[in-house]
Every structure is written in structure tokens, then in C-alpha cells.
Amino acid sequence: MRLAKVIGTVVATRKEDSLTGFKLLVIEEIDPRSEAPTSNRLVAVDTLGAGRGDTVLWVQGGAARVISETHRAAPLDVAVVGIVDSVDVVE
């Protein structure tokens, strides 16, 4: 799992049928120590109701498809799997 900030949404009226009903977010990966943004921006399926400005946990690849049977059939690569309350890194 990695951390990201939600920076936007995606609206696609025409898409693969198995993606119908999924909310799509634009996320920007952040460094866990500084919470500074990296240059990695992605489109992710939102499974929890995250919104712009939220810090989220996300997974990529096969892990994005094991959330539910519905997600397993969709062509997913990135999914939001947690909304973060706080980050505390001790070094």
C-alpha cells in the first residue's frame, strides 16, 4: 500500500461496461515522511467515498482486483483501499 492525495475526479460517460458505477479519482502519490507530492499521478477506482483533498491508501496491480467479486471482473489497475486519518513516521 502507498499514500496519495486525492487531487481530482474523472468522468467517463463511455467506458468498459464492467466499470459502470465505479467512482474514479485522480490521485497523486505522496512521500510518507514529508507528505510532499511526488510526480506520480494515477487514476484510481474509489471503493470508500474519498474526496478531493483526502489522504488515501492505494494499491496497484492484482491487489486492486481483490476488493470484491464486482471489482474482480473489471479492468482495474489502481484502487483506493483506505482513507487516512493521520500519518506518523518515526525515524
Q: What is the DSSP track for 26-82?
A: EEEEE-TTT--EEEEEEEEEESS---TT-EEEEEEGGGGG-S-HHHHTS--SEEEEE
Its pTM stands at 0.86
**Which residue, among 2, 60, 64, has the nearest Cα to 29 in the 3D structure?**
2
What pLDDT score was predicted for residue 91?
Answer: 75
Statement: residue 6 has pLDDT above 90: yes
Average pLDDT taken over every residue of the chain: 87
Distance in angstroms (rounded) separating the CA atoms of residues 69 and 72: 5
Report pLDDT for 61. Answer: 78
Question: What confidence category does residue 29 fall into, taking pLDDT thresholds of 50, 70 and 90?
Answer: very high
At 40-83, the pLDDT tens digits run 999 999 989 999 999 999 998 766 666 666 656 677 779 999 99
| CB 32, CB 3: distance < 8 Å | yes
> Collapsing DSSP states into helix, strand and coil, what is residue 7?
strand
Domains of the chain, earliest start first: 2-83 (2.40.50.220)
